[in-house]
Chains A and B, each alone.
Chain A
Amino acid sequence: MAVIGAGAIARDHVTALAGVPGVRLAHVVDRHPERAAALAALAEGATWSTDPATAWSDAVDVTAVCTSPESHADLSVAAFVAGKAVLLEKPAALRVADADRVLAAAKKAARPLLVAQTARFQPVHLDIAQAVADGVIGTPRLAHLTWYTGHVWPGGWRGWQLDAARSGGHVAHNGVHALDLLTWLMDDEPVRVFARPCRTWAPGMPTPDSFQILVRFAGGALATVELCYALAARGTFVRRLMLSGTTGTLHHSSEDEPRAHTAQPVAPASIEGAMAEQTRHLRDVLDGVAEPLTAPHQVRAALAAALAAQLSADEGRPVDVKEVC
């Protein structure tokens, strides 16, 4: 694997790679040489460069695009053109047309695309997805997804996260996790959304730290989503999912799990280990024994919904998803 964008998430990928036999880090690219070098130093034999083209060189099977979102589409398309498989960090792109370019390039190259919708790989969500597939609640019709976290980006909010032109906005780049998860679990596509931002820490910040999203799906199903990154204690979690179907209801709350209560909180077991699981899945995809869990139509639907939600939050009105397509 070559990684381009040697930041916080790239480090997580590299850590996970170390635990998954069959894939290894070969090369790191960043526009900052010291970042590329520092990350490459974590894996034996890994090289580094500041030249993007080296991220899809002959010696590489899969390119992991871990840069900030504004370069996701161009870098992935280039990797596909060079015949590589791509692990693409979320959000897949900042415009639906750009996501379409990525999907078309993947199709043309006949190489797999896995979008790092890591929430899918959290143990509880894999289990809930299995339960839905097993038919234990019939057809899912109503979801209530609550993700409350005490999290400030390392380095504060001075990074790309604060700049909507680079991130797509907070509702887009983090809302896509929730919207992707629901798109997958409901096996349906959002058609109308309303998002309401909430600035809890600093009212003057250009991006809200928290927001809620109401969703209507094509088949009529409804969902409420709350995402808050502003729990008072850093590292704390309140995670909850209620999924009600035509014959039953699934419910998980992190409040029901035994947990470590320490000065530096440990993530609940229900969500821990997602990155390693995602990496194992990527390995299986590269080995040709699994299809990417993020199906192309879901990549598009989740991104479109997230961009529509961002527009809704910006303009204070409900938005039809097709408006951003």
Chain B
Amino acid sequence: MRILIVSGVRHARDYVPLLRTLPGVEVIGCADTADSPFAEDSAALAATTGIPLLDLDEGLASCDIALVCSEPTRHADLAVRALEAGRHVVVDKPAATDTRAAERLWDAADRSPGLLTAVHRLYSPQIARARRVVDSGAIGLPLAVDAEWLAAGGLDGSTVERPELVCDPALSGGGELMNFGWYPALAIRHLTGLEVEEVVAFGSGAPHGPLFDGPHGAHGVEDAAVLSLRLRNGVVATVTVARTPAGVGPAPVSSSLRVLGSHGHVLADEDAPSVAVRGADGERVSRQVGGPAGLTALRRLFTEFCDDIRYGRTPLVTAADMYAAVAVVEAGLASAHLDGTPVTPAARTANVYGSGVCGDLDAVAALVAAVGGLVPVVGDFEAVAAFATAVAGLAPVVGDLHAVTAFAAAVAGLEPCEGGAWTCACHAFPYGRRRAVAAACVRQWGVRRPRRSCRPGRCCGWTCASGRRLRGRHRPGRCCSST
């Protein structure tokens, strides 16, 4: 398997040596986009590890797997690009910093021939063991989970390359809940198999102050968060994540969780089991049996993913799992921002036709008209069906901006671009309907109406796109080349 590092900003310096120890794996180089804000990181990675620095398209053309290691806010876009180039993709955690990006990733994975997975720790021996115990039925029905995830320091360059990569929201998407919440969210999903229906969080982001003396406060992001989750079927969970001055165990990250079931409980501690060694000088160290769990989990992740590709298996973590984990984190950040107001995570399911509700396209069209003020193409059931596919059922449509967005994208060829404005596929878009969409945009997003009527080939204060799917970012007031 030929692996390309796509952007060597985060974790790549740890992944490359690990990948080189895996039989049948070759790291062919590192590449980044021409406009990457961190081109020098990729260059530095290439220099220190001795891998070639490649042009991105060239690299993508000659690899089997793209391993996306950029700063988190570029994860999804780079992964989509690699998927669209037909590659298999491993994207670093968190795979996306909001559900909109996670949805793009999911869409791209559905459309592309390549497999997609993300960095996770579900292959950590203790988590895998807990899953086996749950699956065996030994603890009965899972009823409650509590997960704790603490990083000890690390912002001095030891585990995080530069502090702003986890503290500056433009790069990280958030603070430590964004950085780490992904792990417990995936673990809880893995162990219970249940969707999260409600998230309540208290965090230390603005307007509250950080708990500890790190750089988080300067960026207004949280260095700690506590979450309460309600899962389907009345199952509950808590998550405690933080970057603390000292951890619980000897590793840079201490992670433990407990699953309570109707007939028993199972505990997992990623530092365990270990052997304590005390030297004659009185110093005590602890040697984890089987080596550090983080490393074991990563090694297995890459090994299994190569086998997933070879043997056509589904990866342990799929685009749907990524979306769900991102949705929990996103809801947690939203709840923390609202000082603990309960938030329902964004939801999306791939198969709506099976649900029966959306078989009735007239009903969907009527609902969309009622909710979004949008009038679907008369008789264009295909477009409505595409919409239904995109938004996964009727329930999430109500009051759901994502749904309206998805509708707009699917039916009207509109997509929100940077700053919440919209781009429109003007020439493919009858005037009357455009007005309705614009009105809905104003209502739902607070974006301004176009100054003039749109005409193909003319800049109208909106950006125009020729196709249904837009590539790259479009800015209001700037015509894209296709119109």
Contacts and interface: CB of A to CB of B under 8 A. Distances in A.
A255 interface: yes
Interface in A237-258: 238, 240, 242, 244-249, 251, 255
Interface stretch (A82-90, A119-127, A210-218, A297-305): A210-218
Interface stretch (B50-58, B164-172, B202-210, B288-296): B202-210
B190 interface: no
B468 interface: no
Contacts of A138: 245
Interface residues of A, number: 44
A146 interface: yes
B228 A212 contact: yes
Contact of A220 (B208, B267, B269): B208
Nearest to A144: B240
A108 interface: no
Given A144-B148, A196-B236, A200-B143, A214 B246 contact: no
Given A222-B211, A231-B265, A317 B244 contact: no
Contacts of A228: 144, 260
A196 B228 contact: yes
Nearest to B152: A249
A168 B415 CA distance: 52
B258 to A, nearest CB: 7
A198 B339 contact: no
B150 A244 contact: yes
Contacts of A249: 150, 152, 244-248
B246 A244 contact: yes
B234 A198 contact: yes
A231 B236 contact: no
Contacts of B258: 146, 148, 238, 240
A196 B242 CA distance: 21
Given A196-B236, A238-B258, A232 B140 contact: yes
A14 to B, nearest CB: 34
A233 B263 CA distance: 8
A124 to B, nearest CB: 15
A47 interface: no
A101 B238 CA distance: 36
16 contacts: A137-B246, A141-B244, A142-B240, A146-B146, A148-B260, A212-B144, A212-B146, A212-B236, A214-B228, A214-B340, A222-B203, A224-B226, A226-B146, A230-B143, A242-B148, A249-B244
Interface of A: 137-138, 141-142, 144, 146, 148, 192, 194, 196, 198-200, 203, 210, 212, 214-216, 220-224, 226, 228, 230-233, 238, 240, 242, 244-249, 251, 255, 316-318
For the complex of A and B, 7 pairs with smallest distance between CB atoms? A318-B340, A141-B211, A244-B244, A249-B246, A224-B226, A224-B240, A248-B246
